[in-house]
Structures are given as C-alpha cells and as structure tokens.
Amino acid sequence: MNREERLIRENIIAKCRWMNASGLNQGTSGNISARYKDRMLITPSATPYDSMKPEMIASMPLEGEYGSWEGPLKPSTEWRFHLDIMRGRPDVGGVVHTHSTYATVLAIARKPIPACHYMMAAFGGTDIRCAGYARFGTAELSELALAALEGRNGCLLANHGMIAVGANLEKAMWLAVELETIARQYYLSLALGQPHILGDAEIAETSQGFSTYGLQEPKAKAAKPAKATAKARAAARSKPEKKRSSKR
C-alpha cells in the first residue's frame, strides 16, 4: 500500500480508538469506513481496536463484484450499508456507525429526533429519521438505512444504533458526535415536559448561516504613508531654517 492509503487506514484506527475512549461507542460494536479512490476501506469484523493494525483494514471495490474484499480479515458485518451508502452517494467519503447510548435509547423507543436544536441543520433537514428494524448485516437493514438517510447526513437504526456520514472521515465523526449530543439533549428535554421544536424556516435560516460559518475575511491592511520623492527630499534639505526668536 502507498503512503496515502496507509494514512487513511491509520486514521480509521485512530478514530475507532477515540470513539471508544470518548464513550461514543463500546467494544467492537461500531464500525468505520472511508473512501479511497475506487475502493472502500473498512474496519474488520470483531477485532479489538487496540490490537488493530493498518494491514488488517479490509478493502472493498466500489464497483465490480459486490461484496468482494481484500485483506487478512473479513470486513465488518455491517459492510453492506457502508458499501451501499458510498456507492449511492458520491458526496460521502466517510461513514461512522456507533451504538452510542442516547441515540440508541431513542432508536429502541423508535423515536425520530425533531428539530429540537438548531444544529439539526448540519444533517440536511428538520429531523433525524429512525430506520425500521432488520437484523444486523442484512441487505434489508441496508435498504432501510439508505431510505432513512435520503437527504440526510445521519439516522437512527431501530433497536440498534446510529449512522453518520460526511464528505470525509473527520466530518463523519464530527456529525456522529453532534448526533449523540442532540439525542442526549432531546432525551433530557422530554424528561422536563414538551420540548419546543424549531420550525422549517428557522432551520433553513441556520443552514444559510452555516454556508459562511468559519470563513474569516482577511484583515484590511493599514495604508502605508506615501514615500517622499528624491526631488522633494532634496528641496526640503535646501530650504533655509527659520531662526528662533530671541524674544521671550
């Protein structure tokens, strides 16, 4: 493998270890994939992240024989929805699947998340849908997940967990954190009573604000004083000085 591919593999492993250390996931239940040219790199099945090496990451073609893979270990059992997402959405470069606590609690209750927070706009709509239930690793689960992700960058999986997708692995992981955060906030607001939900116009306004978020305009440079010409400097030197008056 070349240096570019190795760095992506190392990044996948680093993200897996981080999501477990941060509490976003537990054990080997989650899985991560990243696009690399015409292939998908994905975590292997049932392999502890602490012992994972770059060479263990499975490689799957985005075109050609569906489900074929290369590597010493089988790809994650959830390879279907990872692969189907990347095949169907060229805008996606990274997929993160976790069993994070609050997102999974809502998925168990089969509760979609409405626009309880303006950060919902980061997911491309006014809600996070909850996909119907199907056994892990099945084609049916993949179909349900793709439907829930239509026009969205995240979804819940009934009685299972959540998926977040992004243009790259960093963006996908950021959205996974945001999804778990919103799930926790929504869950706690339900405990207080009926949460206030933002309207479509308010989410659209936030989306528009996101288009310039983080863009810094360059600071205007102070105008430098014009340099005196050589002729002007010579004229100033030749000008006789005024004598000071002796009168006080």
Residues 61 and 200: their CA atoms lie apart, in Å, by 39
The pairing of strands 127-128 and 58-61 is unpaired
Residues 66 and 84: their CA atoms lie apart, in Å, by 10
H/E segment holding residue 176:
helix 169-192
Residues 19 and 16: their CA atoms lie apart, in Å, by 5
Residues 239 and 9: their CA atoms lie apart, in Å, by 75
Classify residue 131 by its DSSP letter.
E
Phi-psi region of 23 (alpha: psi -120 to 50; beta: other; left: phi over 0): left
Q: Which among 78, 150, 178, 202 is annotated as catalytic?
A: 78
Annotation says 55 is catalytic: no
Handedness of CA 135, 139, 54, 89 (dihedral sign): negative
Catalytically active residues are: 78
